[in-house]
Protein backbone atom coordinates (compact mmCIF):
# COMPACT_ATOMS: atom_id res chain seq x y z
CA UNK A 1 0.00 0.00 0.00
CA UNK A 2 1.42 3.36 -1.04
CA UNK A 3 0.79 6.31 1.29
CA UNK A 4 1.47 9.98 0.74
CA UNK A 5 2.97 12.13 3.49
CA UNK A 6 3.06 15.92 3.21
CA UNK A 7 6.26 17.36 4.67
CA UNK A 8 7.59 20.90 4.15
CA UNK A 9 4.84 21.57 1.59
CA UNK A 10 5.95 18.60 -0.50
CA UNK A 11 4.28 15.24 -0.97
CA UNK A 12 6.39 12.17 -0.26
CA UNK A 13 5.34 8.58 -0.92
CA UNK A 14 6.15 5.55 1.23
CA UNK A 15 5.30 1.88 0.85
CA UNK A 16 3.45 0.80 4.00
CA UNK A 17 4.03 -2.85 3.07
CA UNK A 18 7.79 -2.41 3.63
CA UNK A 19 8.25 -1.36 7.27
CA UNK A 20 11.71 -1.48 8.84
CA UNK A 21 11.17 -2.21 12.52
CA UNK A 22 14.09 -1.02 14.68
CA UNK A 23 12.65 -2.01 18.06
CA UNK A 24 13.81 -4.82 20.35
CA UNK A 25 10.97 -6.94 21.75
CA UNK A 26 10.49 -7.88 25.39
CA UNK A 27 10.75 -11.55 26.25
CA UNK A 28 10.71 -13.60 29.42
CA UNK A 29 13.96 -14.62 31.05
CA UNK A 30 17.68 -14.05 31.09
CA UNK A 31 18.08 -13.89 27.31
CA UNK A 32 16.26 -10.57 27.29
CA UNK A 33 18.10 -7.29 26.92
CA UNK A 34 19.10 -5.82 30.29
CA UNK A 35 20.76 -2.81 31.92
CA UNK A 36 20.85 -0.81 35.15
CA UNK A 37 21.44 -3.79 37.47
CA UNK A 38 17.88 -5.14 37.45
CA UNK A 39 16.74 -8.75 37.40
CA UNK A 40 15.42 -10.19 34.15
CA UNK A 41 11.84 -9.38 33.12
CA UNK A 42 9.20 -11.99 33.83
CA UNK A 43 6.19 -13.06 31.81
CA UNK A 44 4.20 -15.62 33.77
CA UNK A 45 0.66 -17.04 33.87
CA UNK A 46 -1.38 -15.28 36.54
CA UNK A 47 -2.13 -17.55 39.47
CA UNK A 48 -4.92 -17.09 41.97
CA UNK A 49 -6.09 -19.98 44.09
CA UNK A 50 -6.53 -22.96 41.80
CA UNK A 51 -6.54 -20.77 38.70
CA UNK A 52 -3.47 -20.76 36.44
CA UNK A 53 -3.86 -18.45 33.46
CA UNK A 54 -2.64 -20.85 30.82
CA UNK A 55 -4.73 -22.79 28.33
CA UNK A 56 -2.44 -25.82 28.55
CA UNK A 57 -3.10 -25.85 32.31
CA UNK A 58 -6.87 -25.90 31.81
CA UNK A 59 -7.68 -22.19 31.71
CA UNK A 60 -10.00 -20.87 28.97
CA UNK A 61 -7.44 -18.17 28.06
CA UNK A 62 -3.75 -17.35 28.37
CA UNK A 63 -3.60 -14.63 31.02
CA UNK A 64 -0.06 -13.46 31.77
CA UNK A 65 1.38 -11.06 34.32
CA UNK A 66 4.40 -9.09 33.09
CA UNK A 67 7.09 -7.47 35.26
CA UNK A 68 9.61 -5.20 33.56
CA UNK A 69 11.19 -1.76 33.58
CA UNK A 70 11.07 0.14 30.26
CA UNK A 71 14.46 1.76 30.88
CA UNK A 72 16.15 -1.58 31.49
CA UNK A 73 14.46 -4.22 29.39
CA UNK A 74 13.08 -2.99 26.07
CA UNK A 75 13.15 -0.35 23.36
CA UNK A 76 11.64 2.70 25.04
CA UNK A 77 10.95 6.35 24.38
CA UNK A 78 11.30 8.90 27.16
CA UNK A 79 10.46 12.55 27.66
CA UNK A 80 12.07 15.17 29.88
CA UNK A 81 10.06 13.79 32.81
CA UNK A 82 12.82 11.20 33.07
CA UNK A 83 15.07 13.75 34.81
CA UNK A 84 12.76 16.49 36.20
CA UNK A 85 11.16 17.07 39.58
CA UNK A 86 7.88 17.85 37.85
CA UNK A 87 5.93 14.99 36.31
CA UNK A 88 5.83 14.78 32.54
CA UNK A 89 4.26 11.87 30.69
CA UNK A 90 5.55 10.57 27.37
CA UNK A 91 1.94 9.74 26.51
CA UNK A 92 1.04 13.42 26.82
CA UNK A 93 4.15 14.94 25.27
CA UNK A 94 4.46 12.78 22.15
CA UNK A 95 1.47 13.81 20.05
CA UNK A 96 2.89 13.52 16.53
CA UNK A 97 4.09 10.16 15.26
CA UNK A 98 5.59 10.64 11.78
CA UNK A 99 8.91 12.44 11.35
CA UNK A 100 11.59 12.90 8.73
CA UNK A 101 14.63 11.05 10.04
CA UNK A 102 18.23 10.43 9.11
CA UNK A 103 19.92 7.10 9.84
CA UNK A 104 23.65 7.37 10.45
CA UNK A 105 26.33 4.86 11.43
CA UNK A 106 28.96 5.96 13.94
CA UNK A 107 32.08 4.30 15.32
CA UNK A 108 32.42 5.66 18.87
CA UNK A 109 35.79 7.28 19.55
CA UNK A 110 38.13 6.15 22.34
CA UNK A 111 38.49 8.79 25.07
CA UNK A 112 40.61 7.49 27.95
CA UNK A 113 38.63 4.49 29.24
CA UNK A 114 35.40 5.41 27.43
CA UNK A 115 33.99 5.22 23.91
CA UNK A 116 32.05 8.33 22.97
CA UNK A 117 30.05 9.91 20.15
CA UNK A 118 31.29 13.44 19.50
CA UNK A 119 29.74 16.51 17.95
CA UNK A 120 32.43 16.36 15.26
CA UNK A 121 31.18 12.93 14.17
CA UNK A 122 27.56 14.10 14.09
CA UNK A 123 28.42 17.23 12.12
CA UNK A 124 30.22 15.12 9.53
CA UNK A 125 27.30 12.68 9.25
CA UNK A 126 24.51 15.27 9.08
CA UNK A 127 26.12 18.08 7.13
CA UNK A 128 23.45 20.53 5.95
CA UNK A 129 20.57 18.06 6.21
CA UNK A 130 17.43 19.22 8.00
CA UNK A 131 15.72 16.44 9.93
CA UNK A 132 13.21 16.07 12.78
CA UNK A 133 14.77 12.86 14.06
CA UNK A 134 18.18 11.21 14.15
CA UNK A 135 18.73 7.45 14.33
CA UNK A 136 22.23 6.48 15.46
CA UNK A 137 23.59 2.99 14.75
CA UNK A 138 26.91 2.29 16.46
CA UNK A 139 29.52 -0.15 15.24
CA UNK A 140 30.34 -2.91 15.69
CA UNK A 141 26.69 -3.72 15.06
CA UNK A 142 26.28 -7.33 16.14
CA UNK A 143 23.02 -9.17 16.77
CA UNK A 144 23.97 -9.66 20.41
CA UNK A 145 22.61 -6.14 20.91
CA UNK A 146 19.21 -7.85 20.98
CA UNK A 147 20.07 -9.63 24.24
CA UNK A 148 23.16 -7.89 25.61
CA UNK A 149 23.64 -7.55 29.37
CA UNK A 150 24.88 -3.98 29.75
CA UNK A 151 25.21 -3.58 33.51
CA UNK A 152 28.74 -2.64 34.58
CA UNK A 153 29.98 -2.66 30.97
CA UNK A 154 30.51 1.11 30.50
CA UNK A 155 28.79 1.31 27.07
CA UNK A 156 29.44 4.16 24.60
CA UNK A 157 27.57 7.41 25.11
CA UNK A 158 27.15 10.92 23.67
CA UNK A 159 29.33 13.78 24.75
CA UNK A 160 27.45 16.79 26.13
CA UNK A 161 28.72 18.81 23.16
CA UNK A 162 27.13 16.28 20.79
CA UNK A 163 23.75 16.64 22.49
CA UNK A 164 24.03 20.43 22.34
CA UNK A 165 24.83 20.26 18.64
CA UNK A 166 21.69 18.20 17.99
CA UNK A 167 19.61 20.87 19.75
CA UNK A 168 21.20 23.56 17.59
CA UNK A 169 20.53 21.38 14.54
CA UNK A 170 16.82 21.16 15.37
CA UNK A 171 16.72 17.42 16.11
CA UNK A 172 13.67 16.83 18.30
CA UNK A 173 13.76 13.05 18.42
CA UNK A 174 16.98 11.16 19.10
CA UNK A 175 17.15 7.37 18.75
CA UNK A 176 20.20 5.33 19.81
CA UNK A 177 21.10 1.65 20.00
CA UNK A 178 22.56 2.15 23.48
CA UNK A 179 21.14 1.87 27.01
CA UNK A 180 21.61 5.61 27.51
CA UNK A 181 22.86 8.77 25.84
CA UNK A 182 24.92 9.28 29.00
CA UNK A 183 27.82 7.48 30.67
CA UNK A 184 26.69 4.50 32.76
CA UNK A 185 28.28 5.80 35.96
CA UNK A 186 28.48 9.60 35.96
CA UNK A 187 27.38 10.37 39.54
CA UNK A 188 23.97 11.49 38.28
CA UNK A 189 25.27 14.29 36.04
CA UNK A 190 23.28 13.12 32.98
CA UNK A 191 24.95 15.80 30.88
CA UNK A 192 23.57 14.72 27.51
CA UNK A 193 20.02 14.19 28.80
CA UNK A 194 20.08 17.65 30.36
CA UNK A 195 21.55 19.25 27.26
CA UNK A 196 19.16 17.60 24.81
CA UNK A 197 16.11 18.66 26.82
CA UNK A 198 17.68 22.06 27.62
CA UNK A 199 16.72 21.70 31.27
CA UNK A 200 18.71 24.76 32.35
CA UNK A 201 17.10 26.98 29.69
CA UNK A 202 13.68 26.76 28.07
CA UNK A 203 12.93 23.04 28.42
CA UNK A 204 12.17 21.18 25.20
CA UNK A 205 9.03 19.52 26.48
CA UNK A 206 8.13 17.82 23.20
CA UNK A 207 11.57 16.38 22.49
CA UNK A 208 12.13 12.65 23.01
CA UNK A 209 14.98 10.19 23.43
CA UNK A 210 14.56 6.58 22.35
CA UNK A 211 17.08 4.05 23.64
CA UNK A 212 17.74 0.36 22.97
CA UNK A 213 16.91 0.33 19.27
CA UNK A 214 18.51 -2.13 16.88
CA UNK A 215 19.17 -1.04 13.29
CA UNK A 216 19.93 -4.10 11.18
CA UNK A 217 22.94 -3.94 8.89
CA UNK A 218 20.60 -4.35 5.91
CA UNK A 219 19.18 -0.88 6.59
CA UNK A 220 21.24 1.69 4.71
CA UNK A 221 22.24 5.07 6.08
CA UNK A 222 20.11 7.86 4.71
CA UNK A 223 16.73 9.56 4.79
CA UNK A 224 13.58 7.80 6.06
CA UNK A 225 10.20 8.58 7.46
CA UNK A 226 9.97 7.47 11.08
CA UNK A 227 6.78 6.23 12.67
CA UNK A 228 7.37 6.47 16.42
CA UNK A 229 4.64 4.87 18.50
CA UNK A 230 4.59 4.34 22.27
CA UNK A 231 2.37 2.28 24.50
CA UNK A 232 -0.05 4.70 26.20
CA UNK A 233 1.59 4.71 29.63
CA UNK A 234 1.25 7.81 31.80
CA UNK A 235 4.91 7.62 32.73
CA UNK A 236 8.16 9.40 31.88
CA UNK A 237 8.97 6.53 29.50
CA UNK A 238 7.11 3.81 27.67
CA UNK A 239 7.94 0.78 25.54
CA UNK A 240 8.01 1.94 21.94
CA UNK A 241 8.12 0.62 18.39
CA UNK A 242 10.00 2.91 16.01
CA UNK A 243 9.48 1.89 12.39
CA UNK A 244 11.28 3.33 9.35
CA UNK A 245 9.92 3.75 5.82
CA UNK A 246 12.15 4.57 2.87
CA UNK A 247 10.72 7.37 0.70
CA UNK A 248 9.87 6.29 -2.84
CA UNK A 249 11.83 8.18 -5.43
CA UNK A 250 9.86 9.01 -8.53
Instruction: Give per-residue pLDDT as tens, 22-68.
Output: 999 999 999 999 999 999 999 999 999 999 999 999 999 999 999 99
Question: What is the band of 3 on the pLDDT scale with cuts at 50, 70, 90?
Answer: confident
- Same-domain pairing of 46 and 127: no
Q: Which of 69, 99, 121 is the last residue of a domain?
A: 69
pLDDT at 216: 98
SS3 146: helix
Average pLDDT over residues 89-93: 98
In this structure, the dihedral spanned by the alpha carbons of residues 8, 13, 16 and 22, taken in order and rounded to 10 degrees, is -50
Instruction: Judge contact between 170 and 198, C-beta under 8 A.
Output: no
In a domain, 159, yes or no: yes
Alpha helices in 39-118 (DSSP H): 70-73, 90-93
Instruction: Tell whether pTM > 0.75.
Output: yes
Which has the closest alpha carbon to 80: 173, 157, 170, 188? Answer: 173
Do 65 and 144 lie in a common domain?
no
Domain range holding 17? 2-25+74-245
Q: Into how many domains does the chain fold?
A: 2
Nearest to 225, CA basis, from 173, 181, 151, 179: 173
Amino acid sequence: MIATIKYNSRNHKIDLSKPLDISIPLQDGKNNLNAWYLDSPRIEPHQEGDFIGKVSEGAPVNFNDIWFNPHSHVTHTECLGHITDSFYSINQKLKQFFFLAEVITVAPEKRKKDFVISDKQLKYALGNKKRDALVIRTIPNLKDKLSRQYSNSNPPYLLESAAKYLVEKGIDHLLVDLPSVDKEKDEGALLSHNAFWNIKGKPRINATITEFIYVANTIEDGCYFLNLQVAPFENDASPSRPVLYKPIRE
